[in-house]
Amino acid sequence: MSIEQKAVILSADEHLAVLAGDKTQHRMISEKSLDELLDDDIDFVMIDDEGNRHVHLYSCPVGEFGDQFIPLGVKGMHSFNGLLLKITGIRIENLQEISHKDAIAEGVHHFEIEARLRNQELSAAQIVFSRHWDVVHPDNNWDSNPMVLVIEFEKVEGL
């Protein structure tokens, strides 16, 4: 299996959260809408207890389930040497579908950001994540509620 540097861009705060083991998910804008996905793209669809649909995918631009990758940093597009991540799940959803638990898995405790309240019922973690998203993605901000790929990962130890 080859390990490639992939265009998963992490901010400095996100990098620290990964190193601390507190960031195990990353959201990125999807180039496809849910309607544009082919049957070949979809692994399975799950409906949770609250009636929410979760569409899990076989692959994404970063790779497939089980692939390993090295993320890039924002400043100068440098890689984080020694940081290897393994994909443990891929799904697609609208940005505002992020749960409190998923916001925490995004590493919000490491984000240096002032988070003012929004006109939505959100947990503190969701509010901080939404503000972080707005800073990192000003053209596809929280209010536009873009379709995002959710990449779940784990740190690979022993490099």
pLDDT of 153 over the 90 cut: yes
The pLDDT value given to residue 22:
92
The pLDDT value given to residue 76:
46
**Owning domain of residue 86:** 4-155
> Which of the 8 DSSP states describes residue 20?
T
* pLDDT per position as a tens digit, 79-125: 555 688 999 988 888 999 999 999 999 998 877 666 565 667 788 88
Among 104, 64, 68, which residue's Cα sits nearest to residue 86? 68
> Which of the 8 DSSP states describes residue 156?
P
How many domains is the chain built from? 1
CATH of the domain at 23: 2.30.130.30
The pLDDT value given to residue 38:
63
Which 3 state secondary structure label does DSSP give 57?
strand
In terms of pLDDT, which residue wins out, 126 or 41? 126
pLDDT of 27 over the 90 cut: yes
- pTM confidence score: 0.81
By CB atoms closer than 10 A (0-12, 13-18, 19+), residue 133 is buried
59 has which bridge partners? 64
